[in-house]
Chain A
Amino acid sequence: MSRKPLRIGAWLPPAIALAVFVLLWQLYADHHPYVAPKLSKVLSELDSHPRLFARNAWTTLEEALVGAGAGMGVAFALALVMFYVRVIERALLPLAVVLNVTPLVAIAPALVVAFGFGMTPKYVIASLLVFFPFLVNALAGLRDVDPEALDLVATLHASRAEVLWRLRLPSSLPYLFAAGRICMPLSLVGAVVAEFVAAGEAKGLGTLVVTAASLGDLGTVYAAVVVLAVLGVAMFGAVVALQRLVLGRYRPSVGARRG
């Protein structure tokens, strides 16, 4: 794959914006230490308790990944059923829309009652959050097939399974990756929200944030936020990397030109 090296025009503006942000933060923190901790304090928290953050990050990451995997898997399976059985789509899509517009934070306490204080409610909340965007994109992807290619395989009497495997699934991949880029960071939100509500396990970055905030330990709060941001970027980046690997085939190879 031919990728141009990042030009100065691409990285300089965000670098300057970041530097200005850091500077303003520091100036503000100098005068209001109880609202915004100094960045040096945030960094030293990370530096002095690396294991604490790593352990809790791992818990939250696991909740997010399991939740995202389950949510996307169920959403894709349902998309297939909805695609082939129209009446099921008509029956269930409105319910999915209602689920999507319902603030999940409101359901979270009820889920804790239902599933206890273990990992289950965290998985469930993370998966509920990713369910709808993945469902809608999977449905759109399964539908977006070149109609002339469908005509062609119809004249060959291709079976439904063959059309699904040879045409619909490959055509839907760009949609699934677009959904994945949204869903992976979203599952992290789900995991943290679940930890806020059900802190019983006393694990995870969300739990750490709640506990530290109640003690007025802003350094730890912001250190956890920094770790969460890094996790979110990493999950997004992983989807993009996988997309490049898989969908690279959709694009021309190196040195190619259009005739």
Chain B
Amino acid sequence: MTPTDDAIVFRGLHKTFGRGNERVKVLDGVDLSVQRGQFVTVIGPSGCGKTTLLRLAAGLVEPDAGSVSLFGASVADATAEKRIGFVPQAPALLPWRTVLDNVLLPLQVNRKVPSSKAAPDAVELLTALGLGDALQRRPRELSGGMQQRVAIARAFVFDPPVLLMDEPFAAVDELTRESLRHSLLTIWQASGKTVLFVTHSVTEAVALSDVVVVMSANTHGIQRVIPIDLPRPRDDLVETTPEFLALERELRLELRKGSK
């Protein structure tokens, strides 16, 4: 494997929050490589540092020690060149903008970066996500699941090679999660993007990923990396196969070991 096959590389990461007696260790020596085009999910109990790992890759947090690189460049360079599509926990839509204008926001800031020729059309993207009728609506008129679809469209619209997703489906109900999962898989598969996805849902991790990274709240590091060798494209039926259920069980047992 050549080094350029690695899209995201975390090396020797340490991170502590707070000062004095209130210092909380979050990451303690994390090394991880995410290959280009892979869908990698980070899962673990609360306080294991999974969201911090993602925020380090997004440049929203600085490490105490260690480094993060995206396609061999620094995180600062990656953001300057708009190579990161970020999907936060809450959809973070601007209430005064329509659905379509919210999706177009990434194209309107940092315009020094030329827009990608392969960038999808915003209207087509929203239509593919089932929001074709809602283009001129305001975010408040949408359900939580629909808002999250808008946030996904906003991350795809400028065609970044990397997607960083921070528990994006955590706030919606189970049925909506399922449908969001499949929408995401459909548009991701056609895009070839590298995805780092943080979740605490075992089903979500197995259904979406090529690789699941289990983090531990005891060691504040990576406990195990589990490859998910399920065929793609995956549909909802895959979630009922014995292989899927076996992987779910394996992951669940692993998580139990890592909780405090």
Contacts and interface: CB of A to CB of B under 8 A. Distances in A.
The judgment on whether A and B are partners is: yes
Interface of A: 146, 148-149, 151-159, 162, 166-167, 170, 249-253, 256-259
8 contacts: A149-B92, A155-B59, A157-B109, A157-B110, A252-B138, A253-B141, A256-B141, A258-B142
The 6 closest A-B pairs by CB, nearest first: A259-B143, A148-B92, A158-B109, A155-B86, A148-B88, A256-B141
A151 to B, nearest CB: 5
Contact of B138 (A155, A167, A256, A259): A256
A156 B79 contact: yes
B109 A162 contact: yes
A126 B212 CA distance: 65
Nearest to B111: A162
A132 to B, nearest CB: 27
A11 B74 CA distance: 64
B79 A154 contact: yes
A89 B255 CA distance: 49
Given A156-B79, A157-B82, A162-B109, A151 B92 contact: yes
B138 A253 contact: yes
A16 B84 CA distance: 63
A157 B80 contact: yes
Interface residues of B, number: 32
A151 B89 CA distance: 11
Contacts of B164: 155
Given A148-B92, A154-B59, A166 B143 contact: no
Nearest to B79: A157
Contacts of B109: 153, 156-159, 162, 166
Interface string B47-76: 000000000001110000000000000000
A166 B105 contact: yes
Contacts of A162: 108-110
B125 interface: no
A146 B141 contact: no
A252 B142 CA distance: 10
Interface string B134-161: 0001101111111000000010000000
B192 interface: no
Contacts of A170: 94, 96
B95 interface: yes
B59 A148 contact: no
A4 to B, nearest CB: 19
A158 B79 CA distance: 9
B96 A252 contact: no
B110 A155 contact: no
B60 A151 contact: yes
Contacts of B137: 253, 256
Given A156-B110, A256-B138, 7 more contacts: A151-B92, A154-B59, A155-B60, A155-B164, A166-B94, A251-B140, A258-B140
Contacts of B106: 156
A194 B226 CA distance: 77
Contacts of B145: 259
A153 B86 CA distance: 9
B90 interface: yes
Nearest to A155: B86
Contacts of B141: 252-253, 256-259
A142 to B, nearest CB: 16
Contacts of A166: 94, 105, 108-109
A252 B94 CA distance: 13
A154 B142 CA distance: 25
Contacts of B146: 259
A259 B150 CA distance: 14
Nearest to B136: A253
Contacts of B60: 151, 154-155
A166 B84 CA distance: 19
B142 A259 contact: yes
B256 to A, nearest CB: 31
A187 B145 CA distance: 47
A259 B110 CA distance: 33
Contacts of A158: 109-110
Nearest to B77: A157
A157 B96 CA distance: 22
Contacts of B80: 157
Most buried by B among A148, A166, A253: A148
